[in-house]
Structure formats: C-alpha cells, structure tokens
Amino acid sequence: MKNNLITKLSSIAALIGVIAAIGGGFVQYGKIQAKLIELDKRKIVVNKTVDLGPINEKISLLEVALIDRIKKTDDRILAPNFTPVYEKISNVENKIKDLTPIEQQMISILEEISDIKEKLSESLKEVAIVQKENQLQDILIEEIKEKGNNPLAN
C-alpha cells in the first residue's frame, strides 16, 4: 500500500510539474505576443536624408592619391630602361663583325648573351611587379567605389 501511495504521489508530482512547465510556456508566449503588439503600435520615423559630404570628400582624396600612384606605376611601365640591353646587343653585333680570334670572341659573345638574358629577366620581373600593383590599385578603387555607394559605411 505504501509503495502504491508513493507511486501515485510521484505521478501526481510529475503531472503537476508538466502542467507548470506548459503553463510557464504559455505565460512566456503571452509576454512575447504583448511585446509584439506594443511594437506594432509604435510609429517608426525614418530619416531619409543622409549627409554624404564627408564620405565624398574622403573618396575624392583617395582617388587623387590612387591616380598619383597609378601615374607613377604607368611611368615605370611605359619607360623601362633598355639602354644597357641595346648596348650589349650592339657590342655583340660588333664582335660578330670582327671575328679574328674566334674562340675568344665566342666566349665574349656568350657572356654578352648571358648578360642580356639577365637584364631582360629583371625587366620582365619589374613589369610583372608593376602589373600586380596595378591590379591591387584596381581592387582598391573598386572597394572605395563600393564603400562610397553604401550610405551606412563610414
């Protein structure tokens, strides 16, 4: 009988706990509904004017700086110094014309060709670096344009 009574009391206690939990859930649901109703009743005021003056000023300053960088980069691309390369080629041509001791001149010509290859390789590396700088500048310009189009960005 005692075991039966304890079992029934535990069942009743569990049932009361479940009912209390369900009741608590409904209370929370009611609070959320009340807040939603209160928020719906509020009037929202939207400020439709945004002062973009400072942002536009920053953009123009950055554009000027980027234009200067691009100009410097273009100058480096458009005017590489190939004078030493042309001098080496001229020396090689002159040595080919004056072939007297052939073995000495062949060694000299091979050295000149090696120097020419080095100079061309260096020039190609410089051009590749400048091209990467240009790509970076293009990316930065696009970022600035995107940032300028977003009125929420500072």
Closest by CA to 73, choosing from 120, 123, 132, is: 132
Residue pointed to by tokens 């706990």: 17
Q: What is the pLDDT of residue 88?
A: 85
**Are 32 and 77 within one domain?**
no
**Are 64 and 136 within one domain?**
yes
**Are 94 and 70 within one domain?**
yes
**Are 60 and 124 within one domain?**
yes
Alpha-carbon gap, residue 72 to 64, rounded angstroms:
12
pTM for this model (two decimals): 0.36
Alpha-carbon gap, residue 54 to 97, rounded angstroms:
68
Q: What is the pLDDT of residue 100?
A: 64
Give a yes or no: residue 154 inside a domain: no
Give a yes or no: residue 136 inside a domain: yes
Q: What is the mean pLDDT of each run of 10 residues along the chain (154 residues)?
A: 75 82 85 86 70 83 84 71 82 73 75 89 89 88 80 64
137: left (phi over 0), alpha (psi -120 to 50) or beta: alpha
Alpha-carbon gap, residue 134 to 121, rounded angstroms:
20
**Are 129 and 65 within one domain?**
yes
Q: What residues make up the domain containing 124?
A: 53-149
Give the number of domains in the chain.
2
